[in-house]
Chain A
Amino acid sequence: MNRREFIGSTLLTSAAAAVRLGAQSTSQPTPALPQAPGRIKVTGMKAIGVTWEPNSDRPYVFVKIETDQGIVGWGEATLEGKAGAVIQTVDDLKTFVIGADPMRVEHIWQDMYIHAFYRGGPILVSAMSGIDQALWDIRGKALNMPVYRLLGGPFDARGVRGYYHTNANANNPEAMARLRESANELGVTAFKGGIPGYYEWIATNDRIKAAVTGLQRLREGLGDKIDIGIDFHAKTSPSAASIICKEVEPLNLMFIEEPCPPENYEAMAKIARRTTTPIATGERLITHYAVQKLLSDGAVDIIQTDCNHVGGITALWKVAAMCEASGVLMAPHACEGPIGAIATLHVDASIPNFAVQEICSGVNPTAKERLWEEWMGFPAMRMVNGYFPLPTKPGLGFDIDEAKLAKLPFQGTIPMARPLFPDGSVAAW
């Protein structure tokens, strides 16, 4: 008798004593929710790894789900440095999806999560995220509506307000002038930058001054009308971050992101309490359950969960609902492929506490953005007058050319950057 059988038999023999809600609910759970006849059914699912750049730490992992009614759904499960594991996990999850009714997205989500027993973690939930997005794509197509309509949106006909990354050197006035000019031409109203180098547990005067001066020059270069978010990328300790956050208060930044690593909420809360600069975090949080403590600790002003890691559209919407009740805004992370980013737009367009949407691109398209356009047939995740236009077609609102993906087959996993301090110990980047 294995452990599960043992537990099952114990329940059966002590049914009268079991905690229960009602007489009917003591019946044994069925393996799957019965299907009503004539309902749409999933017939196939696969993960497609796309090595779009030989040295990228994030080959895209796309999920394709097929149904018996010809409707196909696409989602994204890209997980930096763990592509192989996620592809395998999507395969492991076939049992939960093939044969199921794709309209039941909440049910399938709960089934994959609760019946994993070992809940959460980025690998499982990134795989779930890709599946969830593909199911929402199917749901929208089956109901003949863009997904944001199913969620009660949109709020704004212009689309979703966004920001690009600034890769210009803040210490180079000409580069800053060019960036500002591009922003004006394109109508871009917000940017995100970073702080240079690596920071030890206690930062030296020299490092602090370099960071603060860089941010001052960024503000001067972009002017007062552009919103600026700054990503510390959790490479600062709470001690170092508190000092820099305090020093840059006069710059009225839109937010400072991940001023310390995300696991310790009290540390994040300590930084947040010491500054009036809004604190943003959350791109590494897995599921809406992980957001609760951050909110109740008052440790955060803007949440940035990622549609490809938090649990897809289902969990991202739930995160937004939880933040709404606490007066916290949403600025979701989007730094993988185009499918997850577009899925995110649908949530953004439907929530009252949306702030601004990221895309890890600059003002000028590169090979990556051209590739996205080639796959999707439109300039995916490029802003028009500072807004990402909303898809108008049913589902997530795009068709992807699978033959073009097949030209860039999966070449294996590459880890993320692995920097070291001068003394040889491990640095965050």
Chain B
Amino acid sequence: MPTIVSAKRSRLAALAAQSAQTAVSKPQLPIRNVTARAVKEPASGRQYVLLKIETDGGPIGWGETAVAMDAATLVARLSTFRSLVGQDALASQAVDAHLVRSSAPAYARAAINMALVDILGKVAKAPSYDVLAGGTRNKARALAPLHGTDRASLTASLERARSRGFRAFIVDVQIPAGPVRSREFYRSHVDLLTALRTAGGATAEDFVLDCAGRTTASEGSVMAAALESFHPLWIDEPADKINEEALRKISRESVTPLGWGRWIESADEFQNLLRIQAIDVLRPDMARYPMANIRKAATLAEAHYTAFAPYHNGGPLATAAALHIAASTPNFVIQQVPFPADDRDIAMREALAGKGLEVPVEGYLPLPTRPGLGVDINEDAIARYASA
């Protein structure tokens, strides 16, 4: 799926460069220091990295990322971004352009942009969503993962999430052992989801099936068709390869909505997904794509009349960041929240970022109210839960 870039367009790049290369000569709020620490949830072992940006005489900003990489390597790589020192903390787009020019990975750009959005809101003394475009909604619908591998454990997980306040759930595809996908594979998922819907009751009956790229396009297509009359919210990542043929095949063979995007790190890939009309829910990952770019991707989706629901499997700070995007983005539908399976992990998330942030009321998360991302990161808790 090549982006349309003609020879004349690449020649034009020089024109843009002429207007964008020069760094701001006198930063209004210079970055003083950039540090990163990794933390690890005691039960799940899930790790994420908190990035701290200090400024000269201004507020501290916090960002977060989490990618499949050992924490020490991630922290070491993020720490190389001390080259940001001296740049203007209030000009996040110029900082991001600098990072792009220096081939910074998307997860680093994500953490840095989040911290700068935090700083800008704190300087403006307003919640970040007010800075971005104002709230177009007062609360954001939440989606909780269910944990388990059989009906009993998943039902118990649903009950637990439901009592926490969640009303919509994302369930992992259950891949059987062995290579054969029999009719049973599809029917068992319909049965499982139907049983969970019954358990959830009338106010908690919405589900996403997460195929997580673990099915082939063919299997994903049959699954999508099998679930058509169940009316899941959507099925997520139903193919192991994201190529044009696979995506077209699935979207043409059924009307079940399809969610894609957690692996994508560039705007042109989102653009291509939308352009071939193969996507119903655009799902950039909070951990691997900068907030500003997620909002731009949401705009691409908006122009294609397509829903937007960021993927999130990291820590509580990124949940707060996602809420600011949700508040200010018209085509947002629901925010995935990594609701842990174990109370010890909940305790850690609350120790890091405070209570209430990830607790929905009747299925909806309240918006943060304090300046910036609205989270006071507890550095003692970072030390306590530091990743080994």
- Which one of B147-155, B243-251, B263-271, B339-347 contacts A? B263-271
B268 contacts A143, CB within 8 Å? no
A318 contacts B299, CB within 8 Å? yes
Complex CA distance for A100 and B334, rounded to whole angstroms: 25
Indicate if A49 sits at the interface (CB-CB under 8 A): no
Question: A1-44, CB under 8 A of B: which get 1 and which 0?
Answer: 00000000000000000000111100000000110000000000
Complex CA distance for A80 and B378, rounded to whole angstroms: 56
Looking at the complex, which one of B3, B15, B23, B123 makes contact with A355 (CB distance below 8 Å)?
Answer: B15
CB neighbours (8 Å) of A324 from chain B are 267, 296
Complex CA distance for A54 and B168, rounded to whole angstroms: 62
Indicate if A151 sits at the interface (CB-CB under 8 A): yes
Complex CA distance for A324 and B295, rounded to whole angstroms: 13
CB neighbours (8 Å) of A328 from chain B are 9
Indicate if A144 sits at the interface (CB-CB under 8 A): yes
A126-163 contacts to B, CB under 8 A, are 139, 142-145, 149-158, 160-161
A161-175 contacts to B, CB under 8 A, are 161
Indicate if B131 sits at the interface (CB-CB under 8 A): yes
CB neighbours (8 Å) of B271 from chain A are 322, 325-326
Which size bracket describes the interface of A in this complex? 35 or more
CB neighbours (8 Å) of B90 from chain A are 145, 149
A288 contacts B299, CB within 8 Å? yes
A322 contacts B134, CB within 8 Å? no
Indicate if A371 sits at the interface (CB-CB under 8 A): no
Looking at the complex, which one of A139, A145, A355 makes contact with B12 (CB distance below 8 Å)?
Answer: A355
Question: B236-269, CB under 8 A of A: which get 1 and which 0?
Answer: 0000000000000000000000000000000110
Indicate if A366 sits at the interface (CB-CB under 8 A): no
Max chain B C-beta neighbours (<10 A), residue from A227, A355, A356:
A355
Taking the closest CB of chain B, its distance from the CB of A164, in whole angstroms, is: 16
Taking the closest CB of chain B, its distance from the CB of A21, in whole angstroms, is: 6
Indicate if A364 sits at the interface (CB-CB under 8 A): no
Indicate if A51 sits at the interface (CB-CB under 8 A): no
A354 contacts B19, CB within 8 Å? yes
Complex CA distance for A288 and B364, rounded to whole angstroms: 30
A288 contacts B130, CB within 8 Å? no
B138 contacts A327, CB within 8 Å? no
Max chain A C-beta neighbours (<10 A), residue from B12, B167, B330:
B12
B85-141 contacts to A, CB under 8 A, are 90-94, 96-97, 100, 120, 123-126, 130-138, 141
B364 contacts A24, CB within 8 Å? yes
Taking the closest CB of chain A, its distance from the CB of B142, in whole angstroms, is: 10
A153 contacts B133, CB within 8 Å? no
B97 contacts A155, CB within 8 Å? yes
Complex CA distance for A21 and B364, rounded to whole angstroms: 13
Taking the closest CB of chain B, its distance from the CB of A327, in whole angstroms, is: 5
Looking at the complex, which one of B6, B270, B295, B362 makes contact with A301 (CB distance below 8 Å)?
Answer: B6
B141 contacts A104, CB within 8 Å? no
A110 contacts B330, CB within 8 Å? yes
| Count of chain A to chain B residue pairs whose CB atoms are closer than 8 Å in the complex | 187
A278 contacts B136, CB within 8 Å? no
B134 contacts A351, CB within 8 Å? no
Taking the closest CB of chain A, its distance from the CB of B329, in whole angstroms, is: 8
CB neighbours (8 Å) of B138 from chain A are 33-34
Query: Are A103 and B363 CB-contacts (below 8 A) given A22-B168, A33-B138, A325-B267?
Result: no
Complex CA distance for A104 and B22, rounded to whole angstroms: 33
Complex CA distance for A324 and B299, rounded to whole angstroms: 11
Complex CA distance for A142 and B135, rounded to whole angstroms: 15
- Which one of A191-199, A207-215, A291-299, A409-417 contacts B? A291-299
A155 contacts B19, CB within 8 Å? yes
Indicate if A302 sits at the interface (CB-CB under 8 A): yes
CB neighbours (8 Å) of B270 from chain A are 325
B202 contacts A23, CB within 8 Å? yes
Indicate if B195 sits at the interface (CB-CB under 8 A): no
A22 contacts B133, CB within 8 Å? no
Indicate if A92 sits at the interface (CB-CB under 8 A): no
Taking the closest CB of chain A, its distance from the CB of B370, in whole angstroms, is: 13
Taking the closest CB of chain A, its distance from the CB of B7, in whole angstroms, is: 7
Looking at the complex, which one of B10, B26, B233, B329 makes contact with A157 (CB distance below 8 Å)?
Answer: B26
Query: Are A156 and B19 CB-contacts (below 8 A) given A24-B362, A143-B131, A328-B9?
Result: yes
Query: Are A144 and B124 CB-contacts (below 8 A) given A289-B303, A301-B9, A325-B300?
Result: yes
Taking the closest CB of chain B, its distance from the CB of A161, in whole angstroms, is: 5
CB neighbours (8 Å) of A151 from chain B are 93
Indicate if B304 sits at the interface (CB-CB under 8 A): yes
Query: What residue of chain B has the Cβ atom nearest to residue A289's Cβ?
Result: B303
CB neighbours (8 Å) of A101 from chain B are 134
CB neighbours (8 Å) of A400 from chain B are none
Query: Are A278 and B8 CB-contacts (below 8 A) given A21-B233, A354-B16?
Result: yes
A104 contacts B268, CB within 8 Å? no
A157 contacts B134, CB within 8 Å? no
Taking the closest CB of chain A, its distance from the CB of B165, in whole angstroms, is: 12
A298 contacts B6, CB within 8 Å? yes
Question: A98-139, CB under 8 A of B: which get 1 and which 0?
Answer: 000101111110100000000000000000000000000001
11 chain-A/chain-B pairs, Cβ below 8 angstroms: A22-B167, A104-B134, A107-B134, A152-B292, A157-B22, A157-B26, A289-B303, A298-B6, A321-B295, A325-B296, A354-B16
10 new A-B contacts at CB < 8 Å, known A21-B233, A33-B136, A143-B125: A22-B168, A103-B130, A103-B135, A107-B136, A143-B124, A145-B124, A157-B23, A278-B12, A301-B9, A302-B12
B residues at A contact (CB < 8 Å)? 3-13, 15-16, 18-26, 90-94, 96-97, 100, 120, 123-126, 130-138, 141, 167-168, 202-206, 233, 267-268, 270-271, 275, 292, 295-297, 299-300, 302-304, 328-330, 333-334, 362-364
**A-B interface, 4 closest residue pairs, ranked by CB to CB distance from nearest:** A152-B93, A104-B134, A325-B267, A321-B296
